Amino acid sequence: MIDPIDRVRAPTGKRHGQPAGADDLPTAPAEDAEMAAQLALTRVSLAKDLIGPASTAATPRAALSSLTQKTGFRDGAMLALRFVQARLLSVWGLLLAAALCPPKVFADFAIFAALANFISIAVLLRFEAVFFQNNDRLRLGRAFRLAVATGVVFLAVAAITTLFTAAQGWILRGFGALFLISLASRAAIRLLLAEATAEGDFATIGNSNIVQALLQPGMMILLIWPLGPTALALFAADAFGHAATACYLAWRRRGSLLRLMHPARWSLTELAAAGWQWRSSPTFLLPSALLSFGFSAAPLLALPLSSNPVLAAHVALATRLLDMPAQMFGAVTTPLVMSDLRKHRGLDQQKRARLLTLGMVAIVGALFTTIAFVAVATDEFLLSGTKWGGVGEVMAIMALFYGCGALVGPLQEMGAFSSRPQSQMTANAIALAAAAIVIWGFGSLSPAVLAAIGLISLGRLLLHLRLTWTAIGQQRAVGVA
């Protein structure tokens, strides 16, 4: 029998007795929760002399709420620390690869990674977004199985397409195989991180990034040694680095995953019913996410128009360097924000979304303003006269674009709680169309194009902020709930 204290005091996803992924357990009745609260307070009182003075809560519920808030803050701080560690570990590999590889190879790798990331969003048809819409473990299991089935079908079609294109000689077989590995690994990571976030396993989320930060740059350097500074070395490091991360996540979450897979519950009837119930995920959330990512890659879309290979390389390097803090911000805040909002309903959820949004705006503004100043200073004092001289100015111009994109990332995920998911899709479509028109109008890559795209990114952010401010916590559209 599960200890009622453990049932109440454990955060989501850290339930004791049985793994968090079990989707057929009844919820604890309110009487059990009250009894557990009283027992928890008794234990706290008995241990008071050992742990020092503590503030007295007015009610058992208030005491448990206070303990939960402290736990959430601690988990958030540890998650942020792990991501900072991961990015600091990966920066050296990126900079060394930039120094060893010709600018053309580095630009090709940026396009490869962007394409793999873009397609990986569609592999699961965004069914992983359903994980956050309530605390029902039965629903989590159904959504997980639906996402797995969708991913398997999508990857099978992708494999057939890759074999056909390789047979026609349109791509090299080795590059096609590496792309498939990278695509499948990215999709698996997306699914496993969503499941871990829904269950509150922030330690696994943070550790997975440290694993990737250690393996991927290390593989990159080791492969450059025998293969030379070629695109093949960078592509292979990317593919196997993501594959190792996916394996680590699956191992850490294996107990929960085995129960979510639940062989007895697999059936075509269940999958069809679940697909129809959550049909808004592929119809609204997926197009919105794809359009959002397409816009985030707008600077890369302008690379083929560049007549200056040095400027193209500067943009590719700036994209990689700025993408790291943007990803770090999104990777830290998105699990915490989604896990937090999942615990609220209605008007409380809307108020919480506004508070979280204000905090994120302040952090991103300070972070990317600092990055712009540091990039310009570093360029002037350290890079002047080298092949990378001028990249600091490019980074300063692109800081607006990536700062706004970093904020839109969590806001995009918060669309799972929105009553108007189609509005997010519209905002992203307008922004992408405007960026395409600007790039086409200028006709070539230039700092002016980058600045114009940054202003469009700011406009898109304002639209997302408006939606987050007014459309969270209300009754969701048909098929989302």
* Pair (34, 86) in one structural domain: no
Is pLDDT above 60 for 62?
no
pLDDT tens for 226-281 read: 888 788 888 898 899 899 999 999 999 998 888 888 777 788 888 888 888 888 78
Q: Is residue 184 part of a domain?
A: yes
Q: Is residue 67 part of a domain?
A: no
* Pair (45, 161) in one structural domain: no
Domain end: 256, 277, 298, which one?
277
* Pair (239, 306) in one structural domain: no
Structure tokens at 108: 């090709």
* Pair (317, 265) in one structural domain: no
* Pair (42, 173) in one structural domain: no
Q: Domain range spanning residue 375?
A: 279-481
Is pLDDT above 50 for 478?
no
Is pLDDT above 50 for 90?
yes
Phi and psi angles of residue 472, each rounded to the nearest 5 degrees, phi first: -100, 135
In this prediction, residue 28 has a pLDDT band, given cuts at 50, 70 and 90, of: very low
* Pair (151, 114) in one structural domain: yes
Which has the closest alpha carbon to 453: 233, 258, 286, 297?
Answer: 297
What's the CA gap between 181 and 238, in Å, rounded? 9
Q: If you write DSSP's letter for every residue of 201-265 in order, what string do you get?
A: -HHHHHHHHHHHHHHHHHHHHHHHHHH-S-HHHHHHHHHHHHHHHHHHHHHHTHHHHHHHH-GGG
Question: How does the average pLDDT of the chain come out, rounded?
Answer: 76
The count of domains in the chain is 3
What's the CA gap between 237 and 432, in Å, rounded? 30
What's the CA gap between 435 and 450, in Å, rounded? 10
Structure tokens at 29: 């009745």
Flag whether the pTM goes above 0.85: no
* Pair (172, 27) in one structural domain: no
Domain end: 62, 82, 108, which one?
62
Q: Is residue 179 part of a domain?
A: yes
